[in-house]
Amino acid sequence: MKNERRIQKSSVNLNDKCCSVGIQIKLSLPLVSSRRNDMFIRITLSLLLVLFNSASFAGPDFFILPNQCKLLLAKNNGELSLLPGDPPSYACTRKEKTMFCTVGYTSGRTTAYGTNAEEFAILVDSPPILLFGSGNGATLFYINLENRQVGISARLISDSYIGNKVCTALYTTKIESDLMRNQRKKR
């Protein structure tokens, strides 16, 4: 065993908005005092870490920026109401057939489940149309990638009303969003 060098449980924890990943690296390397061997190992580990970081934690793929929302509510007293809604904004990352989004509201409230992270299934991906929604179908997103417009529909149910919230929004990529942010800073 004196001819071996060991790196014991080097742990790296990386977090992103949708999931937590823990990596444990255990290596048993022969103690060969070769600079070429050491350099190869360092380069390989560095490349793996860079590739893993850039692929998994590059930030959101796109943003949904709020425009306006309307609520149509049928109250249990028979009254029908059309009200302004609280426009949401989303930062979304696509992973295979799932969309992970962080939602924020202009009022600052959180979602009904008390969290700002939501998971959606991609239902239609036929450019220029992208359609995704929640597992129970309560929330649907219709995105026209050609004209950058988004329609959002969400069911609302309470002990005093049932209704639907419909919103319009703007689709932007991360690059477009960064450009808009930089233009606002210059003003």
Beta strand 117-126 pairing with 98-105: antiparallel
Whether domain 62-186 has CATH 1.10.3470: the reply is no
pLDDT tens column, 24-43: 333 344 444 455 565 555 55
pLDDT tens column, 41-91: 555 444 444 444 334 456 889 999 989 999 999 999 999 999 999 888 999
Beta strands in the chain (DSSP E): 4-15, 20-30, 62-75, 80-84, 88-95, 98-105, 117-126, 129-133, 139-144, 149-157, 161-173
Question: What is d(CA 152, CA 70) in angstroms, rounded to the nearest whole number?
Answer: 11
- Average pLDDT (152-171) is 95
- Average pLDDT (141-161) is 95
pTM of the model: 0.64
Each domain of the chain, given as residue ranges in start order, spans 4-56, 62-186
